[in-house]
Structure 1
Amino acid sequence: MKTLLSLAATAALALTTTASAQSAQERLDDRYNYALAAGYKAMMLCSAMATSERLGGSRTEESVHEWELTGIYPVLDPIIRDLPYEIVRYSVDGMANPPVYQVRVEWADDMPARAATQSVNGGCYVEPIGASLAEPLPLSAESANANVADDGWTTNSAVLSGSAKDRLGDAAFDMSYGEGSRTTAALVIRGDAIIMERYAQGFGADTPQRTWSVAKSIASTLVGIGLLADGIDVNEPIGLNYWRQGGAPDLRNQITIDHALRMATGRYSDTPGNRTDPLYWGGSTVDETAMRWPVVHAPGTVFRYANNDTLLAVRTVDRFLGYYGAEDLLSRFGMDRTIAETDWRGGYVLSSQVWSTARDLGRLGQLYLNDGVWDGERILPEGWVEYISDPSGPQPEGTDWGYGAGWWTFRRPEGNAFEGIPDDAFAARGNRGQYVVVVPSRDVVIVRRGEDMVGTRFDIAAFTRDVLAALEEGGSD
């Protein structure tokens, strides 16, 4: 289907100033923002629909517009929903709704549409700005049909009373934990069983959503798996191999795996560290975007939250991931409904670009409850849980949260400011309200998924505290 460019979008082309009043750079930036908005829209439509269909479900265009494409970055939000788009599907004999091949979004009269294309693993990648677009080849029905096994979860309804589950579930969805927050899933696990689970209308146990920066904790996990397999220590240099004339070493050669996991490489980038728009929406590659920045601080001395640092850490296990594939490695501990997306050259974008279900993120938490062991097999190195949850490196400023190695912690080196939450608790956190909280001492995992409006925040600490308190009380009112 193809939408029509509305009057609102046409008016937005003028943005806030007239063309005659803009500098050449401002006009260039405006044009770039339209290219990014089109890439953002193409990726969200393609990924949401393709991953859901790959896992045996479905997402409608209307649902993606309502959730993923509403309440986003202020610069892109007024533009994005009205950009004309086309969903191109494969041709499959006998199939009424064949898989998505590509989503194309128009953004400029003199340039090709921005496009996101489904990859062989069921995720999508964004094509470079200006890329020419090809038509899909026919698919066989065998390769097009989804085949997803049961996820193997058990439930234990006796741990929390019905009234406690209703109270916690209602509060998670009615903005009690943040005005403007929009919860799509809330899941509580104790031990090996689900004890509370609720979804927004249109979402369910098999609905994948973008993890955003929860992917960083998944990346840390994959790095741990690779380091165990290859016998590599986190304090070894990453091996950037920069050398100056005469053989003098570059300071970047001192960056270790630990520095990258702890957001302490000391590297510069020309945007805030959480904004990697050229890679996420612009069609650049991991190598082009993340690898070549200079250092402005000695490695290991300053915390700076940066997507590029996670991508650099993943580089240490590139060959390992390339051989086994992220999906196969994640399935070793039950994350069978998780798809790790790549750039158009096949580089994993594990700082954000992963689509997963709430239940699969529960499996991630369970692996850490089990000290990195799954079905009797050690998946993560011994001591990895303590390592990733130890805020021993440089710490973020202006927050009560600490940072470990790819995971956030509820304690900082100076102590725990979160009353009612044990010191050993740690969490994966992502944009728009993605959370996985692990509390080893209470044998509990809490997963919250959302599509929170920009500028709003779900209070995951308060929700965690209330869940733990209800469990302490045995679920009674």
Structure 2
Amino acid sequence: MKRTATAILISFLLPLMLGGCGVDRALHVASSLTAHELCSVAFVEGRDPEPVFHDYLQPFIGVRIVADRLHYTVDHERRQVTATVGHAFAARAVYAEGRGCTVMNRSAAPPAPLVLDPVAFADVPLPQAPDPRLTAAIDRAFTPDRRALVIVQDGNIVGERYAAGDRADTRLQSWSMAKSITNALIGILVRNGKLALDQPVPGLPNGITVDHLLRQTSGQPFGSSNSGFDLSSRMQFLEADTAAFAATRFEGKPGERWSYTDANYQLLSGIVRRAAGGTPDAVANFARRELFGPAGMKSALLEFDEAGTPMGASWAFASARDWARFGLLYLNDGVVEGRRLLPEGWVDYSARPTPPAEAGYGAGFWTNRGESEGARRRRSWGMPADSFFALGNSGQIVLIAPSRRLVIVSLGFSLDPTNHTPVEAVARLAQALADLGSAR
């Protein structure tokens, strides 16, 4: 018996209502996600938003159910994108220099451009040393959903490729790779003596520590389904103060269970904001002075919520080469050109397995160390046993393999909901590099 469109819509939206995100909020999330993503595409990345909307956003489970009613407008003069579902649930995302795009659900006034202090960006060269033997392996890894691929071994770019329209200096979106940037900013605060890993976080219950948040064991239950309708999506796209909303719900005793959620990293982002000085300008200048400048990441940019907290769970941008420079920071134990940015031991701490995480998670990075189910599976695909990686929705990956002196950056827009396909492709590429090394 054929189901009507109304029946399908009800069967889809009912779990959302029971899960804490009512129909009106769900539809507003769809328009806000569209406005934010397309604003960043148009004004941060400098791309045409139309193919991104049709090829990438519309297939999202939370968008496709209303795709025929979802409309957006790009205003290049005001540098903003508005979106609606039907003629309701209006959302607006506005670009400002230095802070990228912000969803403006509470304020009519556009966000102010950031006042950025002069920063000396280190020259972290990536010499070109292409290895023609990698051509076949790169062909296999650079599937149609990839936008950029950079392979760095022993500090040299041995392979690099970009999709049509993208270049070495194109800023590309992080999604959850931003969590690894947040890991670095927290590490810098620890190095500076402003934070301790075992320090209970003021305002949070049950003695939740910075370590609990980094390792996703705080008991925060929002999850991260990427449906566009879960509580995590509501936090990112409907709430003016994401960190305050993230602090509203916890379950159980910290450390008992692992639950991957953007909310833990918005709480950490709130900690970074307070420690850096409380304003978006102060956060951006802290990140540029302490991380992006010394690491040579000239293109790096953090986006912010309306309250001024960085969107450290999922909204950062950098070129593929700058993502490779970020990987090199961790490959080299937190040191760049002889300058220590991260505390001694921080990299091993970040890659150390979190006991309850059978998916293979460390602290802000996924890890292939230890005997979790996820680590064993990825090692069987070809990822080195000591490797770990930043991972974002749609297959954004920075793989770091210290024993191989290897960093692989793969960025794109895969719609594989598990991210398995892009991760496996990077694993196969790492194995191909190992095979070439043994053949020398």
Q: Does TM-score exceed 0.5, indicating one fold?
A: yes
SS at match of 1:386: helix
2:101 alignment counterpart: 124
1:96 alignment counterpart: none
TM-score, normalised relative to structure 2: 0.83
1:174 alignment counterpart: 143
2:365 alignment counterpart: 407
Matches of residues 191-202 of structure 1 in structure 2 within 5 Å?
191-202=154-165
2:217 alignment counterpart: 264
Distance change >3 Å, CA 310–CA 25, structure 1 → 2 = closer
CA distance, structure 2, for counterparts of residue 106 and residue 315 of structure 1: 30
SS at match of 2:397: strand
Distance change >3 Å, CA 211–CA 49, structure 1 → 2 = same
Cα distance per residue 1:382-426 (max 9 Å; x no partner): 0111111111x33324x4xx2111111112346952144332110
Q: Give the one of 291, 314, 318 matched to 2:247.
A: 291
Distance change >3 Å, CA 268–CA 132, structure 1 → 2 = closer
Native 8 Å contact 1:50 1:122 kept in 2: no
Q: Which runs of 5+ in 2 are unaligned?
A: none
Q: Give the one of 43, 68, 91 matched to 2:36.
A: 43
CA distance, structure 2, for counterparts of residue 476 and residue 290 of structure 1: 51
2:87 maps to 1:109: yes
SS at match of 2:189: helix
CA distance, structure 1, for counterparts of residue 249 and residue 63 of structure 2: 26
1:421 alignment counterpart: 383
CA distance, structure 2, for counterparts of residue 15 and residue 169 of structure 1: 45
- Cα offset, 1:370, TM superposition: 1.4
Cα distance per residue 1:347-405 (max 9 Å; x no partner): 111011112221111111100111111122110000111111111x33324x4xx2111
Q: Which 10-residue stretch deviates more, 187-196 or 278-287?
A: 278-287
SS at match of 1:403: coil
Native 8 Å contact 1:71 1:452 kept in 2: no
2:129 alignment counterpart: 157
Percent of aligned positions with the same letter in both sequences? 30
- Cα offset, 1:45, TM superposition: 1.2
Native 8 Å contact 1:36 1:277 kept in 2: yes
CA distance, structure 1, for counterparts of residue 398 and residue 218 of structure 2: 25
Number of residue pairs aligned between Structure 1 and Structure 2: 413
Q: Give the one of 58, 69, 72 matched to 1:85.
A: 72
CA distance, structure 2, for counterparts of residue 475 and residue 288 of structure 1: 52
Native 8 Å contact 1:101 1:136 kept in 2: no
Native 8 Å contact 2:387 2:400 kept in 1: yes
CA distance, structure 2, for counterparts of residue 432 and residue 110 of structure 1: 28
CA distance, structure 2, for counterparts of residue 186 and residue 149 of structure 1: 23
Native 8 Å contact 2:206 2:253 kept in 1: no
SS at match of 1:194: strand
CA distance, structure 2, for counterparts of residue 318 and residue 273 of structure 1: 26
- Cα offset, 1:239, TM superposition: 2.2
2:338 alignment counterpart: 376
- Cα offset, 1:157, TM superposition: 2.7
Q: Which runs of 5+ in 1 are unaligned?
A: 1-10, 53-57, 91-99, 176-181, 242-251
CA distance, structure 2, for counterparts of residue 222 and residue 386 of structure 1: 16
- Cα offset, 1:227, TM superposition: 1.3
CA distance, structure 1, for counterparts of residue 108 and residue 74 of structure 2: 13
Q: Give the one of 219, 228, 236 matched to 1:280.
A: 236
Letter in 1 for 2:367: T
Letter in 2 for 1:50: F
Q: Which 10-residue stretch deviates more, 58-67 or 252-261?
A: 58-67
Native 8 Å contact 1:184 1:203 kept in 2: yes
Q: Give the one of 236, 240, 254 matched to 2:199.
A: 236
1:394 alignment counterpart: 355
- Cα offset, 1:210, TM superposition: 2.0
Distance change >3 Å, CA 262–CA 134, structure 1 → 2 = closer
Q: Which 10-residue stretch deviates more, 219-228 or 466-475?
A: 466-475
CA distance, structure 2, for counterparts of residue 390 and residue 18 of structure 1: 43
Q: Give the one of 259, 275, 285 matched to 1:304.
A: 259
Cα distance per residue 1:101-120 (max 9 Å; x no partner): 21111335366x31001134
2:308 maps to 1:352: no
Letter in 2 for 1:405: A
CA distance, structure 1, for counterparts of residue 170 and residue 233 of structure 2: 25
SS at match of 2:219: coil
Distance change >3 Å, CA 301–CA 375, structure 1 → 2 = same
CA distance, structure 2, for counterparts of residue 65 and residue 218 of structure 1: 27
Letter in 2 for 1:307: D
- Cα offset, 1:213, TM superposition: 0.9
CA distance, structure 2, for counterparts of residue 388 and residue 338 of structure 1: 21
> RMSD in angstroms over aligned alpha carbons?
3.4
- Cα offset, 1:134, TM superposition: 5.5
1:319 alignment counterpart: 274
Native 8 Å contact 1:343 1:349 kept in 2: yes
SS at match of 2:168: coil
Distance change >3 Å, CA 191–CA 319, structure 1 → 2 = farther
Letter in 2 for 1:101: R
SS at match of 2:386: coil
Letter in 1 for 2:83: V
2:287 maps to 1:332: no
CA distance, structure 1, for counterparts of residue 15 and residue 366 of structure 2: 42
Distance change >3 Å, CA 88–CA 462, structure 1 → 2 = closer
SS at match of 1:106: strand
Distance change >3 Å, CA 421–CA 467, structure 1 → 2 = closer
- Cα offset, 1:83, TM superposition: 2.5
Native 8 Å contact 2:39 2:95 kept in 1: yes
TM-score, normalised relative to structure 1: 0.77
User: Which entry has the higher C-alpha Rg, 1 or 2?
Assistant: 1
Letter in 2 for 1:291: A
CA distance, structure 2, for counterparts of residue 208 and residue 469 of structure 1: 28
Native 8 Å contact 1:215 1:350 kept in 2: yes
SS at match of 2:66: helix
SS at match of 1:230: coil
- Cα offset, 1:15, TM superposition: 7.3
CA distance, structure 1, for counterparts of residue 173 and residue 269 of structure 2: 19
CA distance, structure 1, for counterparts of residue 181 and residue 59 of structure 2: 25
CA distance, structure 2, for counterparts of residue 353 and residue 253 of structure 1: 29
